[in-house]
Amino acid sequence: MTRHFHSSAREPELVHAGDIADLLAVVPSMIGMRPENSVVVVPFLGTRAVSGFRLPLPARLRRIETQALARGCIEVMRAVPEADAALVVVYTDASYEQARGIPLLDLGRAILRRLERTGLGIVGVACVASDGWGRYSIAAESRAPRSPAEIDSSEAGILARASAPDALDTTELAELPEVTDADRAVVAAILDRGPGAVRDAVSMVERWLISPPAAGRDGGIIRLLQAPALRDQVTVQIALGRAAGEEARRLQRRLEAVQRSTGETVDEIVQRESAAGEADDHDRSSAALLMGTGDGPVRARVEHATAALARLAALAPREARPPVLTVLAWCWWALGVSSLAAAHLESALTIDPGYSMARLYATVFSYRTLPDWVVGAASRSLVAASQRA
């Protein structure tokens, strides 16, 4: 599931939608991306809505996937308890002509049935197909499409597009950027030297985040990320800043000292200390952050890091990519764009199916489709919008 918030701190523009076509016209601007082959759930409080959640359509849509998607729509609404109504839109490349009626009819009906059981208001359950659109609950619109021009020419949609930042192109962002063979060669040479000692990883990461791209610096960060402990330290530092990175490094040095003294692995030390109630507060808060609970990251840092990490993944030799792709996946998930998180995790696991952190994140993202801070922001935005004049 994907949730995207624009980084602008200003309040979103109030756009007045007069009918269902207007609502469908503003949905892409509301969620910050062009929805394709997905289900978008938009919570309402009264007559106001500020954001939406995107659930991708699976490649195959059998009964089990249909019911899971319909159930997911309800779970989205439960995650925003302030909401009292829902708009659900199915976006598909299929056409009315191919389906001989409204596409994905079983899915639309399943969503309608589940919404009707909740007591929530139903603004609409609609389908935007390749040759038109309609609502599953309106017989005439289920048989034949309404014109796409009603959406494309909507004044509300035009105003929403004019006042909102550019929508994310998730297809483009799922691809790694172009890099030069010369830069790849520099990175390969750095990695060929082996792990090496790093005097000040925290300063190294901060310089990488604020400086223009440089193959030598990029190679050093890729080498850092190959070590699991440093990978997680870098993730925390990206999310929270230099001080958090320094604290994470201090704790890592303590664990390394205990490891030398006892012969235990780091995992064994952490498990033993956690069981004895000896876990450090910073350890607990860092673990909570990585699992999507507690206070959220510094959004601007994470947004900036997505581009920098994508470049690292493009520069890294194939066998060195999984750690980079895994951190990149976490960053997109932390921003609420779980479709991109899933794409990068899939790439990491295609290269190394046994890469443990990617497997862990895949499990976490499957049951916690959005971090707590993203859902909380959606709830606060919805309440604030409902109170605006």
pTM over 0.75: yes
The tally of CA atoms less than 13 A away on the side-chain side of residue 90 is 30
Q: Is 147 helix (H, G, I), strand (E, B) or coil?
A: coil
Strands 121-129 and 85-91: parallel
Given a cut of 80, whether residue 271 has pLDDT beyond it is: no
Q: Which residues of 138-168 are buried (b: 16+ CB within 10 A; e: fewer)?
A: eeebbeebbebebbeebebbebbbeebeebb
Residues in CB range of 25: below 8 A, 6 or more apart: 17, 151, 152, 154, 156, 157, 158, 160
Burial label for 293, CB within 10 Å (0-12, 13-18, 19+), is middle
Say which DSSP state 9 is in: -
What is the domain partition of the chain in residue ranges?
A: 20-167, 173-254+292-367
Do 123 and 87 form a contact (C-beta atoms < 8 A)? yes
In this prediction, residue 386 has a pLDDT band, given cuts at 50, 70 and 90, of: low
* The predicted structure's pLDDT at residue 11: 47
Measuring CA to CA, how many Å separate 383 from each of 16, 197, 240, 369? Answer: 17, 51, 27, 22
pLDDT digits (tens, 9 = 90+) for 20-32: 999 999 898 888 8
- CATH tag, 20-167: 3.40.140
Residues in CB range of 297: below 8 A, 6 or more apart: 238, 239, 240, 289, 334, 373
pLDDT digits (tens, 9 = 90+) for 68-127: 999 999 988 998 889 999 999 999 999 999 999 999 999 999 999 999 999 999 999 999
* The predicted structure's pLDDT at residue 214: 97
Residues in CB range of 296: below 8 A, 6 or more apart: 334, 371, 372, 373, 374, 377
The values of phi and psi at residue 55, to 5°, are: -115, 120
Query: What is the full DSSP assignment across 68-93?
Result: HHHHHHHHHHHHSTT--EEEEEEE-S
The values of phi and psi at residue 125, to 5°, are: -125, 105
In this prediction, residue 163 has a pLDDT band, given cuts at 50, 70 and 90, of: low
* The predicted structure's pLDDT at residue 114: 97
The residue with greater pLDDT, 243 or 167, is 243
Measuring CA to CA, how many Å separate 354 from each of 251, 328, 351, 359? Answer: 27, 18, 9, 7
Given a cut of 60, whether residue 297 has pLDDT beyond it is: yes
pLDDT digits (tens, 9 = 90+) for 181-235: 999 999 999 999 877 667 789 999 999 999 999 999 999 999 999 998 899 999 9
* The predicted structure's pLDDT at residue 211: 95
